[in-house]
């Protein structure tokens, strides 16, 4: 568990390290963009994968009772939600599962509510599958250094269903990001319950992307569907060990769908569109959920120290910039607005002067302008190097 030591990932087909030049058009920049981490996963997972690879046969595979048991026990232990193994649908990723949801549960031209600034592929997930985005922008209170949901606007977006239905328009779905990438909020039960009430009143299917569910620094994670029995029947919760254990490249995801009709419809589309994941992903999932908890806890401790270090560094050393302290995820959302730069100028400053690859805020759509997202999943020495480069660039500007 040597997070401090890190890992040289160059030449391993790493999107973050080997494709940074292709994405940013510049060589030799420090990559702090893609949300994966620069260290090995848990030894238990590596050993399980080694054994599976040594076996040598990689034919068709199918998750069995042991996988179900591992998932059920993890969800109960970590999030206090008792699920029935029947509710589990295995998939090959979160984004493709979200696409399946939009295709399956919306009609052409329906609106799907998103809460920008938010994980940008959500927009193509909606738009490439025949629906339209309705933005319910998050509210940012700079003084309190905090993001909240705009419930008044959300109500309007949900109710649009009634006013426009004669013209064939309606809002039928919302994709919730919980914990939220990039702003780092861990939604409280009160917030989730308010959202749930509005969704139930207006017959909106909430699909909750909970890919960061195991990265919680403050509070605890509540799976959206777990809030009530009624909600269980009217929502879909997506979980995965992919981020938690730094195994996103193994393409494994879970859709938890208690409602049997919704589940059957999702499964039918999944068969046509995306399949169930792959044998190495399933092997890793079982090892992660049965033997990975202590590694996960150690990783969380390290990340929390990284988070504290970065927030403190920005406060003391780069006072013109404000770090929004994350309650969860391993992402740092930084407010550069006081520099008064447009998206291109801000990108140039960070890329050309600091030579660090971050994700520019407007990528996450409205409300993201003037911000940058930095990945904390790296050794502290790398984090320090990145922050020092940013400090020098901001000072020099
Ligand atoms: C909120 C969120 N959802 C989904 C994904 C991607 O998940 P997958 O690789 O399983 O499609 C990411 C990756 O960073 C993410 O941040």
User: Right CATH number for 15-41+294-396 from 3.40.50.2020, 3.90.1150.10, 3.10.310.10, 3.40.50.300?
Assistant: 3.90.1150.10
Is 63 close to ligand 1, i.e. is its CB under 6 Å away? no
Q: Are 386 and 30 in contact (CB under 8 A)?
A: yes
Decide whether 15-41+294-396 matches 48-291 in CATH topology: no
Q: pLDDT per residue over 56-114, tens digit each?
A: 999 999 999 999 999 999 999 999 999 999 999 999 999 999 999 999 999 988 999 99
Cis upstream peptide for 62 (omega within 30°)? no
Q: Tell me what the mean pLDDT of segment 144-154 comes to.
A: 96
Q: Tell me what the mean pLDDT of segment 266-292 comes to.
A: 92
| Distance of CA 248 from the midpoint of ligand 1 (Å) | 8
Tokens 């909600």, residue located? 231
Query: Ligand 1 test: best mutation among 248, 328, 376, most atoms within 8 Å of CB?
Result: 248
Alpha carbon distance 16, 79 (integer Å): 30
Is 242 close to ligand 1, i.e. is its CB under 6 Å away? yes
Question: Which of 389, 394, 376, 392 lies closest to 28 in space, CA to CA?
Answer: 389
Alpha carbon distance 185, 196 (integer Å): 17
Q: Tell me how crowded residue 170 is: count the other CB atoms within 10 A of its CB.
A: 21
Indicate if the pLDDT at residue 167 is higher than 80.
no
CA angle (214, 127, 231) in 5-degree steps: 45
pLDDT of residue 272: 82
Domain boundaries in the chain? 15-41+294-396, 48-291
Give percent of the chain above pLDDT 90.
Answer: 91
Greater confidence, 363 or 160?
A: 363
| Distance of CA 359 from the midpoint of ligand 1 (Å) | 15
Question: Which of 350, 246, 179 lies closest to 16 in space, CA to CA?
Answer: 246
Is 100 close to ligand 1, i.e. is its CB under 6 Å away? no
Task: Label residue 3 by pLDDT band (50, 70, 90).
Answer: very high
Q: Tell me what the mean pLDDT of segment 334-352 comes to.
A: 95
Average pLDDT of every residue of the chain: 95
Is 277 close to ligand 1, i.e. is its CB under 6 Å away? no
pLDDT of residue 161: 65
Alpha carbon distance 285, 214 (integer Å): 14
Q: Are 375 and 35 in contact (CB under 8 A)?
A: yes
The minimum-distance atom of ligand 1 relative to the CA of 177 is: 1
Burial class (CB in 10 A: 0-12, 13-18, 19+), 160: middle
| Residue 216, helix vs strand vs coil | strand
Q: Tell me what the mean pLDDT of segment 361-376 comes to.
A: 97
Q: Tell me how crowded residue 62 is: count the other CB atoms within 10 A of its CB.
A: 10
Is 89 close to ligand 1, i.e. is its CB under 6 Å away? no
| Distance of CA 387 from the midpoint of ligand 1 (Å) | 25
Indicate if the pLDDT at residue 262 is higher than 60.
yes
pLDDT of residue 164: 61
Is 394 close to ligand 1, i.e. is its CB under 6 Å away? no
Q: Tell me what the mean pLDDT of segment 359-374 comes to.
A: 97
Here the tokens at position 136 are 């319910």
Q: What is the DSSP letter of 328?
A: B
Indicate if the pLDDT at residue 244 is higher than 70.
yes
For domain 48-291, the CATH architecture is 3-Layer(aba) Sandwich (3.40)
The minimum-distance atom of ligand 1 relative to the CA of 252 is: 10
């Amino acid at each position: 568990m040597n997070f401090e030591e890190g890992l040289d990932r160059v030449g391993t087909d790493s999107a973050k390290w080997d494709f940074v030049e292709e994405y940013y058009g510049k060589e030799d920049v420090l990559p702090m963009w893609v949300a994966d981490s620069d260290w090995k996963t848990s030894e238990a997972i590596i050993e399980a994968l080694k054994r599976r690879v040594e076996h040598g046969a990689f034919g068709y595979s199918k998750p069995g009772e042991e996988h179900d048991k591992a998932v059920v026990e993890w969800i109960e232990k970590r999030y206090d939600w008792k699920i029935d193994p029947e509710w589990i649908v295995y998939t090959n990723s979160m984004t493709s599962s979200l696409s399946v949801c939009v295709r399956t549960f919306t009609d052409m031209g329906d609106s799907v509510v998103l809460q920008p600034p938010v994980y940008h592929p959500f927009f193509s997930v909606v738009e490439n599958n025949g629906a339209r985005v309705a933005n319910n922008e998050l509210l940012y209170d700079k003084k309190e250094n905090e993001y909240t949901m705009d419930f008044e606007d959300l109500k309007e977006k949900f109710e649009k269903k009634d006013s426009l239905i004669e013209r064939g328009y309606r809002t039928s779905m919302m994709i919730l990001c919980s914990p939220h990438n990039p702003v780092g909020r861990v939604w409280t039960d009160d917030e989730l319950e308010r959202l749930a009430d509005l969704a139930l009143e207006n017959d909106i299917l909430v699909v909750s992307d909970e890919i960061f569910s195991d990265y919680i620094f403050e509070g605890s994670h509540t799976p959206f569907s777990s809030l009530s029995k009624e909600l269980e029947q009217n929502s879909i919760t997506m979980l995965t060990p992919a981020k938690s254990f730094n195994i996103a490249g193994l393409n494994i995801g879970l859709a938890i769908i208690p409602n049997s009709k919704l589940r059957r419809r999702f499964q039918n589309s999944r068969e046509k569109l995306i399949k169930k994941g792959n044998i190495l992903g399933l092997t890793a999932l079982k090892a992660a959920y049965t033997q990975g908890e202590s590694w996960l806890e150690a990783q969380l401790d390290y990340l929390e120290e990284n988070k504290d270090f970065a927030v403190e560094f920005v406060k003391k050393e780069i006072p013109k910039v404000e770090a929004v302290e994350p309650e969860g995820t391993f992402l740092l959302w930084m407010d550069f607005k006081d520099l008064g730069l447009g998206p291109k100028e801000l990108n140039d400053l960070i890329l050309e002067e600091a030579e660090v690859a971050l994700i520019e805020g407007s990528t996450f759509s409205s409300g993201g302008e003037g911000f940058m997202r930095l990945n904390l999943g790296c050794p502290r020495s790398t984090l320090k190097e990145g922050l020092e480069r940013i400090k020098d660039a901001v000072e020099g500007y």
